[in-house]
Structure 1
């Protein structure tokens, strides 16, 4: 199975125009058939987040769309991977990570 490169933006904030600002960039390689749990764990490992004490919200933006799309389940990962595979530009569809102190559930659909 092929792998895809994913650029991750973190340590940031969203502004009023739904733009992700003041961020740091990292990268991971992910198998095309990766699960949601695998993606969350790989992102957490790469950016140094302990999921015992924090949880994450993963989003990405599609050009021309102001509202970021959430990756919050298996279908979200499959759609994201499909978009990444179609594009040749590895800087497209950067994953934006927002961290929360534990108290929310990792797989909470309201994130």
Structure 2
């Protein structure tokens, strides 16, 4: 059974339970959706760059003095149970807030800013893998991730803008290989002179 969910985003919390000045979109999910897949779907639907921003997902239940936050699989299950008990597209909309990431564990390579990024760390490993798996299974979810740019071979010498590395060790191996190649070329050119 599919469930239609109204998304309210780009608004502000005026008080604990009033979300105002928002825009509206919608998604359809299955009953078995996980928290990570829900986040990925919302990020894609709202065209949010998940490298620079994260989202908080909340909803308001009548009689509550503050919104309930969805932060794991159990919270998603609870939300879906509440939603299914009172069907209706406009009942219990999800309120989506974006948060700027502050140099956290997930990084990316951005040709504009010339920064190298490595996906490794805490729960974000799971997030990165979900994104890559989603990209392989369904290109609709993560348009900015290109699985062909995901480097797993540590002896790779083809370094380009937009590449992602399996882990920090792979990134270090590739960079060290690139440095060694440049040093060897410089040594050979000095030898020729």
TM-score by length of 1: 0.88
The alpha carbon displacement at 1:105 in A equals 7.5
Q: CA 1:105/1:64 → structure 2, altered by over 3 Å: closer, same or farther?
A: farther
The alpha carbon displacement at 1:17 in A equals 4.6
Pair 1:102 & 2:128 matched = no
The alpha carbon displacement at 1:50 in A equals 1.1
The alpha carbon displacement at 1:13 in A equals 0.6
TM-score by length of 2: 0.52
Computing the radius of gyration over CA atoms, which structure comes out larger, 1 or 2?
A: 2
Structure 1 runs (4+) deviating above 4 angstroms are: 104-108
From the two aligned structures, give the one with the greater strand fraction. Answer: 1
Runs of at least 5 residues in structure 2 that lack an aligned partner in the other structure: 107-122, 125-193
Runs of at least 5 residues in structure 1 that lack an aligned partner in the other structure: none
The alpha carbon displacement at 1:85 in A equals 1.1
- Contact persistence 1:57–1:98 (CA under 8 A): yes
- How many residue pairs get aligned? The number is 107
From the two aligned structures, give the one with the greater helix fraction. Answer: 2
* DSSP 3-state at the match of 1:51: coil
Q: C-alpha root-mean-square deviation of aligned residues, in Å? A: 1.9
Matches of residues 2-81 of structure 1 in structure 2 within 5 Å? 2-81=1-80
